[in-house]
Structure 1
Amino acid sequence: MRSEKTKLIWVVMMLMIRTQKVRLYPNRYMKKVLDSLCDYRRYCWNEGLATWNDMYDLYTIDPSSPHPSAYIVRNELVANKADWQYALSARALQLAVADLGQAWQNFFDKSQPDWGKPTFKSKKAARQGFKTDRAKIVTGKLRLDKPHGVKDWYDIRISKHADLSGTLKVVSIYLENGKYWASLPFEVELEPKLRTGHNSAVDVNVGHLNYTAGVINTLPKRLRKLYQRIKFYQKRLAHKRVVNGNKATKGSRYVAMRAKLQRDYRRVANIQHDIMQKFTTQLVNDYDKIVIEDLSVKAMQMSHVASKGLQRSMFGYFRQILTYKCDWYGKKMILADSQYPSTQRCSKCGHTKSGNDKITLKGNAIHQTKHSEYICYSCGAILDRDKNAVANLLALI
């Protein structure tokens, strides 16, 4: 018989989807299988989109005709399947049409990110992939559903660092830069973190994040070195394209340098994601309530230089992962209004700068103050700009 404490924990625990991105290491045969499934997914999407467009045109002319939907389009594609399609996974077709139906729903909702009408997929795209909901994890390897009539089939080895616990859902497998990856969503039971009684606020800046306990550097020395190398490779590749024209991309030296550029881009992404994941985990472990600013990143991109700094600081990614981790572990994230004067307000007396007294990215030219200084002309307080912003955000709790 369970104790009262055990019952309470069992009730509080929630089912969440936790996704693991892993590297796949297929053998030669399974590489061909993955490539064919990627091509088949693209074929199904394009056929489904063409069928959907034809049905919609017919519906606009004759309203008595059936209105296109994912169910109708899927049945149309299944009814017209060719013989070669039966050697491939049927789930690839059904999930492709389901995603197409979702894309059409998003098209009628302009608030969706990357809003737009569904377009045809190209085989020249840098990323190709497919989905399946019948994959399994067997002895630490990924096993895909085996089509009928296929004799040879092998499990796919995956990277060792992955956490493979939980119930596996719809798996996304894709090919990018010659390497195979998989997104493995696991349904897991997560227990809320213990209450600490402490609160924090995070002030995001280009190159660093300030919070109650200190500063997190988002642009460490190793990242700056990688950015210098990336800049060098980009210049060299651009020079080769200018000199050799379209033939440049077919040269062995060009291909080798492009591979180095892609390698460094992956390293940059891994370092950035590692910093953000560790920092957000620290926040939900140590604090019950976390205040961040509701920034409009697109409006802040005033120039290509500012855009690069904002992209490297990963403001959007930080908010995204902090949001779902707070949901996972029962913590509360508070969004400060985008017009809240966290930088211009004095955390000591509450005076808010206005007009020519405001602090800009370069400080204040009239009063000759630095970017990192906050001088209150009401109470005379001299504060660090970022610490003052953190204190103002913390006051919202």
Structure 2
Amino acid sequence: MGKAWNNFFDKAQPGWGKPKFRSKREARQGFKSDQSKIKDGILYLERAKESSVPKDQWRGFKLSEKPLSDEFGVVSYFKEKGRYYVAIPYKIKAEDIKLPDKTGKATAVDVNVGHFDYTGGRMNVLPKKLDKIYGKIQRQLAKKQVKNGEAACESENYLKTKAKLQACYRKASNIQNDLMQKFTTELVNNYDKIVIENLSVKGMLMSHVASKGVHRSMFGKFKQFLTYKCDWYGKELILANKLYPSTQRCAACGNVKKGDDKITLYGNKKHGTKHNEYVCYNEKCPNYNKVVDRDKNAMLSLLALTEHPELNHAL
């Protein structure tokens, strides 16, 4: 605690935040250790001198995969959603990282609730089956609360149903994390330039309309994963201006919708178009009066920034 406060008041370390109280009731419990060792694929936690377990009976944890390096940093041990995890930061030399070949290709990713669109197609972020399953369990919990009030939260059936819901959340989170890692790796392997929107995730989470969808679609993690992978593999990541009108801009002619012509979450009342439709009303446009997929049009508008960086500003 003393070290944390010293770091906080040290002007030479402006990145240190104010120490926070760690409650025993927090969902995630854990600690860090710089004395852990790996031997023959087994991770050993340091044994305390006052431990009642004899040295010859001290056991470690078998790793699920081969260690990436003999050198590693501070190991984090934590419990989350009823399971125990270990995070090991390996120290790998830059020359040991195999860089993907240059492809000369560029792509853009338009992030949406539930799916991401890019030049290679569409990637579904949240499996529909899991979404339906924990949607059903949530309704069961809500019904029990309405019927039995506060007493429902203490019933055995309620706790069992709640445990099922937590298991579904954990499963969905693991699947999504795996999908996101593979998708971002695919992007840096196949493209040299990648354009994404520099979205204000915190601001979007404050909206009651799409906050749950934004959280489940992992907008923040996608940007985080892609940023460090582009840095590792020497690829160019282009962040579109937060106010760049990718949704309102026509990818074919560059015309930007304004006023009553704008597309909203509910479509466009003036022209009677749906929220997922884009129609350009510029008579000189090759797509004049044609119905185009809104997400695909937004993705192509972002892609234009690779050749025309001067467009990357608010209009």
TM-score range, shorter chain: 0.7 to 0.9
Q: Distance in 2 between matches of 1:168 and 1:295?
A: 34
Q: Distance in 2 between matches of 1:293 and 1:286?
A: 19
Is it true that 1:191 corresponds to 2:108 in the alignment?
A: no
Q: Distance in 1 between matches of 2:264 and 2:216?
A: 21
Query: What displacement does 1:135 show?
Result: 0.9
* Structure 2 unaligned residues grouped into runs of 5+: 307-315
Identical counterparts, % of pairs: 49
Listed one character per residue, the Cα deviations across residues 9-54 of structure 1 (whole Å, up to 9, x for unaligned) are xxxxxxxxxxxxxxxxxxxxxxxxxxxxxxxxxxxxxxx3xxxxxx
1:225 alignment partner in structure 2: 132
Aligned counterparts, 1:208-357, within 5 A: 208-232=115-139, 234-235=141-142, 238=145, 242-244=149-151, 248-249=153-154, 252-301=156-205, 303-357=207-261
Q: Distance in 2 between matches of 1:237 and 1:102?
A: 48
Listed one character per residue, the Cα deviations across residues 256-279 of structure 1 (whole Å, up to 9, x for unaligned) are 333322211110101111221111
Q: Distance in 1 between matches of 2:138 and 2:68?
A: 40
Kept in 1, the 8 Å contact 2:246–2:298? The answer is yes
TM-aligned CA distance change 1:104 to 1:269, over 3 Å: farther
1:365 alignment partner in structure 2: 269
Q: Distance in 2 between matches of 1:211 and 1:105?
A: 45
TM-aligned CA distance change 1:329 to 1:238, over 3 Å: farther
TM-aligned CA distance change 1:127 to 1:298, over 3 Å: closer
Listed one character per residue, the Cα deviations across residues 178-233 of structure 1 (whole Å, up to 9, x for unaligned) are 42211111112322211011110001111111101111112322222333244145
Kept in 1, the 8 Å contact 2:261–2:268? The answer is yes
**RMSD (Å), alpha carbons:** 2.7
Range with bigger deviation, 255-264 or 339-348: 255-264
State which of 21, 25, 31 in structure 2 corresponds to 1:130.
31
Q: Distance in 2 between matches of 1:252 and 1:103?
A: 45
Partner SS for 2:76: strand
Listed one character per residue, the Cα deviations across residues 127-162 of structure 1 (whole Å, up to 9, x for unaligned) are 2211111212222221012233643452333452x3
Is it true that 1:200 corresponds to 2:101 in the alignment?
A: no
Q: TM-score, normalised by structure 2?
A: 0.83
* Structure 1 unaligned residues grouped into runs of 5+: 1-47, 49-72, 74-96
Kept in 2, the 8 Å contact 1:202–1:292? The answer is yes
Query: What displacement does 1:392 show?
Result: 1.3
Q: TM-score, normalised by structure 1?
A: 0.67
Listed one character per residue, the Cα deviations across residues 274-305 of structure 1 (whole Å, up to 9, x for unaligned) are 22111111101110110000111233346434
TM-aligned CA distance change 1:156 to 1:238, over 3 Å: farther
Kept in 2, the 8 Å contact 1:291–1:336? The answer is yes
Structure 1 runs, 4 residues or longer, greater than 6 Å off = none
The residue type equivalent to 1:164 in the other structure is P
Q: Distance in 2 between matches of 1:314 and 1:207?
A: 9
Query: What displacement does 1:238 show?
Result: 4.1
Partner SS for 2:61: strand
Kept in 2, the 8 Å contact 1:237–1:257? The answer is no
Q: Distance in 2 between matches of 1:314 and 1:234?
A: 25
Partner SS for 2:210: helix
Range with bigger deviation, 303-312 or 267-276: 303-312
- How many residues are aligned here? 293
Q: Distance in 2 between matches of 1:275 and 1:164?
A: 22
Listed one character per residue, the Cα deviations across residues 296-321 of structure 1 (whole Å, up to 9, x for unaligned) are 12333464341111111111111010
1:392 alignment partner in structure 2: 301
Query: What displacement does 1:358 show?
Result: 0.9
2:47 alignment partner in structure 1: 146
The residue type equivalent to 1:171 in the other structure is V
Q: Distance in 2 between matches of 1:295 and 1:343?
A: 13
The residue type equivalent to 1:129 in the other structure is G
Q: Distance in 1 between matches of 2:143 and 2:125?
A: 27
Kept in 2, the 8 Å contact 1:223–1:271? The answer is no
2:313 alignment partner in structure 1: none
The residue type equivalent to 1:165 in the other structure is L
Kept in 1, the 8 Å contact 2:188–2:233? The answer is yes
Listed one character per residue, the Cα deviations across residues 64-91 of structure 1 (whole Å, up to 9, x for unaligned) are xxxxxxxxx3xxxxxxxxxxxxxxxxxx
Query: What displacement does 1:122 show?
Result: 2.1
